[in-house]
């Protein structure tokens, strides 16, 4: 706990003092950690009380420095909510500061702007170009397969019923019909639709990360080393998309193998 606690008076300081605590506004704690914070608050109160009792203080109806009496020398559960909230607030800030310190400890030296620019103009830019190109290509193939399947399906009947010499219409329909299944099967096998949406989603997410980073908002609000955070989040997005691609195609391969075993 802070040294000036439980109503203690703070001595005057000859020079202006500007407190600069660690920025923990962007730290989110889990329910388990929040429960631990309550235990830390109780423990902090017990430490303070034990120190006071060791110094000869005792419980009293009001604070009396001369008589060494203090109304807060009671079990934590008997404190008023305002006093409990003080202990909780201090414990919570300690836990959050430790969380920030752990994050910073993973990279002792902040990522410089030069390092960030090199990453942004290198690997990040190539990833954007890759996802954009893949999205466009898969979109075009999906549209082609969809339009071809629809157009040929509609055209087969008129071809059969048309006034063609020497059975040419029947031959043409017989040639076109298998291509419907072929094109539809190719579209499903190569996952043009799923790939198009996935690549475009990855591209959008990466673009959004850069806008958040530059504006210092969202996950970059109050972050000291936002350049390193950007790289970490961008790499996670790329890794996630790669895992999604493997899952899509591995699932397709497993399904095809199952069908083959049944045939």
pLDDT of the residue at 239? 86
- Residue 184 token pair: 């539809």
pLDDT of the residue at 175? 86
Pick the CATH number of 31-105 from 1.20.1530.20, 2.40.50.100, 3.40.50.300, 1.10.490.160: 1.10.490.160
pTM over 0.85: no
pLDDT-derived band at 217 (thresholds 50, 70, 90) equals very high
- In the predicted structure, residue 114 carries a pLDDT above the cut 50: yes
DSSP state of 76: G
- In the predicted structure, residue 253 carries a pLDDT above the cut 50: no
Nearest to 55 by CA among 71, 70, 68, 74: 68
pLDDT of the residue at 110? 83
Q: What are the structural domain ranges in the chain?
A: 31-105, 113-262
- In the predicted structure, residue 240 carries a pLDDT above the cut 70: yes
Least confident span in 3-17, 102-116, 191-205:
3-17
Q: What is the spatial distance between Cα 156 and Cα 175, in angstroms, rounded to a whole number? A: 10
Question: Which residues 6+ apart lie within 8 Å of 96 measured at CB?
Answer: 22, 24, 27, 29
Angle at Cα 181 formed by Cα 178 and Cα 185, nearest 5°?
140
pLDDT of the residue at 230? 94
- Are 139 and 196 contacting, i.e. CB atoms less than 8 angstroms apart? yes
- In the predicted structure, residue 9 carries a pLDDT above the cut 60: no
Least confident span in 38-47, 51-60, 197-206, 216-225:
38-47
């Amino acid at each position: 706990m802070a040294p000036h606690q439980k109503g203690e008076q703070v001595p005057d300081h000859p020079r202006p003092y500007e407190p600069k605590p660690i920025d923990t506004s962007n730290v989110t704690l889990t329910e388990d950690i929040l429960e631990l914070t309550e235990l830390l608050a109780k423990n902090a109160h017990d430490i303070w009380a034990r120190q006071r009792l060791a110094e000869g203080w005792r419980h009293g109806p009001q604070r009396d420095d001369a008589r060494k009496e203090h109304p807060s020398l009671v079990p934590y559960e008997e404190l008023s909510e305002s006093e409990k909230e003080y202990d909780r607030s201090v414990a919570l800030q300690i836990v959050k500061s430790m969380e920030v310190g752990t994050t910073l400890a993973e990279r002792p030296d902040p990522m410089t702007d030069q390092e960030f620019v090199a990453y942004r103009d290198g690997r990040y830019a190539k990833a954007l170009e890759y996802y954009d190109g893949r999205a466009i290509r898969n979109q075009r193939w999906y549209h082609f397969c969809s339009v071809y399947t629809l157009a040929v399906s509609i055209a087969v009947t008129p071809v059969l019923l048309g006034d063609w010499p020497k059975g040419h219409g029947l031959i043409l329909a017989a040639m076109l019909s298998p291509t419907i299944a072929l094109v539809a099967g190719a579209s499903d096998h190569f996952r043009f639709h799923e790939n198009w949406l996935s690549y475009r989603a990855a591209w959008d997410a990466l673009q959004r990360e850069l806008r958040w980073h530059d504006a210092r908002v969202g996950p970059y609000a109050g972050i000291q080393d936002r350049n390193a955070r950007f790289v970490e989040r961008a790499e996670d997005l790329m890794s996630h998309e790669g895992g999604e691609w493997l899952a899509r195609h591995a699932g397709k391969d497993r399904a095809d193998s199952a069908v083959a075993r049944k045939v």
